[in-house]
């Protein structure tokens, strides 16, 4: 189904049970309930909170249910810290659309004679970024959420380049939905932007978004305010009027360094999986000779938006490739954004949405309808 067909199916489903309520439903309300149901559907299929107690990739149906959201991502590993004289922690930053981890694949460098490897710390390429506060997304004298945040090469000349940092696709109200707005900004950045909340690698900005534009996509963004026109951020309302603008603080940072081999002679590459360990178990396992981190099976923990990968003095992490379930785009009738999940999932999401609406209006037939939804699962 496309988004229009899903809306119609929901209205028909509610109308079949409670015709008075169906006439009162706004499209924005249906969008909100659809997106809640879609996320509940994903959470149920990934985990084991379903009647079959089967998680993702434990059956062909679970694989098919989420296949359109599965992606691969390979990123840079940076050095974080040393633990004593033998162990090290490297950090791998997760992609901004990350939702669930499926698996990790690490490539390590190791001496063929298994002696400690020699390395030096090299500077990584600089990250160009700017920070903006959540207040930037509020307009009309702090009474409403902006419809979009746009970067202008020169806002006095609208024929020049523009880039949408974020587009409001939901009917958020202020201040009740401010946390939902923050989550939406992180889940749905504009094309060519990565947006993080408060932390990215070693960067920490309390109460602010860290925005990283793709310099290849937006080569016109001016990072040096002393040269030419400084790029500005503008929040825009539904009529297209520019409500307020600001010149963001552009910065660059060298996010940690990488450990690089001094000599590659006698070094071999080993590609293998890795094992997730809980934070309270990692140090116990590192000192256990049978379960410690190994080049054939590095141990890692998850912290915020990053994986912390533990290595010993005999190997270095060269690269990490993950397979993960990404966050889906939000369904929106007004923007024509349909559900990204496979079509065979759409009816189940529609049925879940109808049940959610019936529950919200305390319809006595909710329990009966929910039983039918569970049968379809």
Tokens of 102: 């499926």
Dist CA 130 CA 212 (whole Å): 7
Same domain, 166 and 60: no
Tokens of 146: 């902006």
Residue 35 within any structural domain of the chain: yes
Residue 271 within any structural domain of the chain: yes
Dihedral pair phi/psi, residue 311, rounded to 5° = -125, 165
Residue 282 within any structural domain of the chain: yes
Same domain, 240 and 150: yes
Tens of pLDDT, residue by residue, the chain (377 residues) = 999 999 999 988 888 765 666 667 888 889 999 999 999 999 988 875 544 445 455 556 677 888 899 999 987 788 888 998 899 999 998 888 899 999 999 999 998 888 899 988 887 667 778 888 887 777 766 677 888 888 877 777 778 888 888 888 877 777 777 778 888 888 889 999 999 888 887 677 888 888 888 878 888 776 554 333 345 555 555 444 444 555 555 566 666 688 888 988 889 999 999 999 999 999 999 999 999 999 999 999 998 889 999 999 999 999 999 999 998 888 888 777 899 999 999 999 999 999 888 887 765 555 554 555 554 55
Residue 361 within any structural domain of the chain: yes
Contacts by 9-12, CB closer than 8 A, 24 or more apart: 9/347, 9/350, 10/34, 10/350, 10/353, 10/354, 10/357
In the listed set 325, 346, 362, which residue is the last one of a domain according to the structure? 325
DSSP tally for the chain: helices H, then strands E: 8, 21
Contact between 165 and 211 (Cβ < 8 Å) = yes
Same domain, 134 and 177: yes
Dist CA 34 CA 283 (whole Å): 43
Closest by CA to 86, choosing from 251, 268, 253, 311, is 311
CA distances for 220 relative to 194, 229, 234, 245, 310, angstroms: 17, 10, 17, 18, 40
pTM, 2 dp: 0.71
Same domain, 191 and 86: no
Residue 120 within any structural domain of the chain: no
Q: What pLDDT was estimated at residue 316? A: 93
Dist CA 162 CA 37 (whole Å): 34
Closest by CA to 48, choosing from 37, 62, 36, is 62
Pairing mode, if any, of strands 257-261 and 267-273? Answer: unpaired
Number of domains in the chain: 3
Q: What pLDDT was estimated at residue 246? A: 55
Residue 121 within any structural domain of the chain: no
Dist CA 229 CA 223 (whole Å): 10
Q: What pLDDT was estimated at residue 50? A: 45
Same domain, 249 and 213: yes
Dist CA 362 CA 16 (whole Å): 16
Residue 230 within any structural domain of the chain: yes
Q: Which domain holds residue 235?
A: 127-253
In the listed set 219, 253, 287, which residue is the last one of a domain according to the structure? 253
Same domain, 179 and 209: yes
CA distances for 254 relative to 121, 129, 200, 297, 303, angstroms: 12, 11, 12, 29, 20
Dist CA 241 CA 174 (whole Å): 19
**Cα separation of the two ends of the chain:** 18
Residue 261 within any structural domain of the chain: no
Contact between 234 and 149 (Cβ < 8 Å) = yes
Q: What pLDDT was estimated at residue 48? A: 57
Same domain, 98 and 134: no
Q: What pLDDT was estimated at residue 127? A: 77
Same domain, 207 and 187: yes
In the listed set 194, 220, 253, which residue is the last one of a domain according to the structure? 253
Q: What DSSP state is assigned to residue 244?
A: E
Same domain, 60 and 80: no
Same domain, 163 and 219: yes
Dist CA 317 CA 5 (whole Å): 48
Cβ neighbour number for residue 286 with a 10 Å cutoff: 18
Pairing mode, if any, of strands 275-276 and 299-303? Answer: parallel
State yes or no: cis peptide before 31, omega within 30 of 0.
no
Same domain, 222 and 136: yes
Helix, coil or strand: residue 326:
strand
Same domain, 132 and 225: yes
Dist CA 53 CA 175 (whole Å): 39
What is the DSSP track for 152-177? ES-TT-TTS-EEEEEE--S---TTTT
Tokens of 328: 């889906």
């Amino acid at each position: 189904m496309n988004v229009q067909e899903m809306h119609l199916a929901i209205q028909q489903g509610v109308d079949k049970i409670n015709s008075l309520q169906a006439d009162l439903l706004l499209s924005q309300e249906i969008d909100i309930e659809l997106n809640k149901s879609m996320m509940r559907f994903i959470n149920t299929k990934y985990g084991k909170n379903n009647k079959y107690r089967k998680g993702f990739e434990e059956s062909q149906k679970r694989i098919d249910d989420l296949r359109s959201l599965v992606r691969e991502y390979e990123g840079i590993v940076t050095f974080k810290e040393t633990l004593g004289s033998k162990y090290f922690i490297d950090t791998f930053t997760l992609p901004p659309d990350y939702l669930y981890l499926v698996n990790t694949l690490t490539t390590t460098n190791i001496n063929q004679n298994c002696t400690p490897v020699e390395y030096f710390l090299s500077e990584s390429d600089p990250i160009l970024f700017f920070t903006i506060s959540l207040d930037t997304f509020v307009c009309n004298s702090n009474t409403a959420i902006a419809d979009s945040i746009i970067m202008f090469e020169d806002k006095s000349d609208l024929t020049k380049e523009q880039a949408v940092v974020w587009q409001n696709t939901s009917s958020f109200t202020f201040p009740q939905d401010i946390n939902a707005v923050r989550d939406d900004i992180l889940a749905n950045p504009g094309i060519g932007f990565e947006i993080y909340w408060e932390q990215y690698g070693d960067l920490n900005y309390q109460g602010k978004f860290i925005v990283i534009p793709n310099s290849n996509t937006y080569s016109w963004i001016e990072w040096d305010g002393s040269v030419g026109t400084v790029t500005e951020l503008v929040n825009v309302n539904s009529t297209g009027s520019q409500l307020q603008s600001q010149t963001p603080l552009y910065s660059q940072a060298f996010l940690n360094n990488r450990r690089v081999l001094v000599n590659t002679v006698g070094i071999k590459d080993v590609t293998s999986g890795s094992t997730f360990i809980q934070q309270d178990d990692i140090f116990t396992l590192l000192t256990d000779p049978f379960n410690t981190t190994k080049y054939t099976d590095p141990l890692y923990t998850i912290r915020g938006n990053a994986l912390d990968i533990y290595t010993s003095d005999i190997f270095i992490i060269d690269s990490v490739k993950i397979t993960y379930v990404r966050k889906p785009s939000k369904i929106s009738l007004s923007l024509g954004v349909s559900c990204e999940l496979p079509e065979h999932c759409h009816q189940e999401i529609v049925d879940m949405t109808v049940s959610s609406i019936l529950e919200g209006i305390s319809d006595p037939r909710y329990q009966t309808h929910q039983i039918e939804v569970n049968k379809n699962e």
